[in-house]
Amino acid sequence: PAGKTLSMSFETIQAATDAGAACIVADNTCVPVLVEWNKNVAARLPGFPGIKGGMMESNGPENYGDWLRLLSEFPIPNASWLSPQDGAYVLDETYYALSGGIFQEPSVYTNLLR
């Protein structure tokens, strides 16, 4: 979803679901702020066959040498859902209440525009 508009993502998800296909979200080596946009979509997908929830491929730590710095710049840098546990993101009530932090100002980016 971060690589296209949300409306296009929703149309693609609807078409795939209508065709009986299982959907996953791929993060395409996104920075943490965009990973959270993707995670919000994946968290609301129909359950992937064999698991309880949606599925998302995520490879930021493998592709960004400064991943820990990028995480520290996230609006909620110590959020438990930023890092997977045993290969899965654990999304709790706080995650859903805050939408993973996607509506909070990513000041590291907005400060670039000032």
Decide: helix, strand or coil at residue 31: coil
50-68 residue pLDDT tens: 988 899 999 999 999 999 9
State the average pLDDT over residues 80-97. Answer: 95
Provide φ and ψ at 70, rounded to 5°: -60, -40
Q: Three-state SS string across 36-80, please?
A: HHHHHHHCCCCCCCCCCCCEEECCHHHHCCCHHHHHHCCCCCCCH
- For the chain, the structural domain boundaries read 6-113
pLDDT at position 2, please? Answer: 56
Provide φ and ψ at 56, rounded to 5°: -140, 130
Tell me which residue of 90, 72, 73 sits closest to 81, measured CA to CA. 90
20-48 residue pLDDT tens: 999 999 877 889 999 999 999 999 999 89
pLDDT at position 4, please? Answer: 72
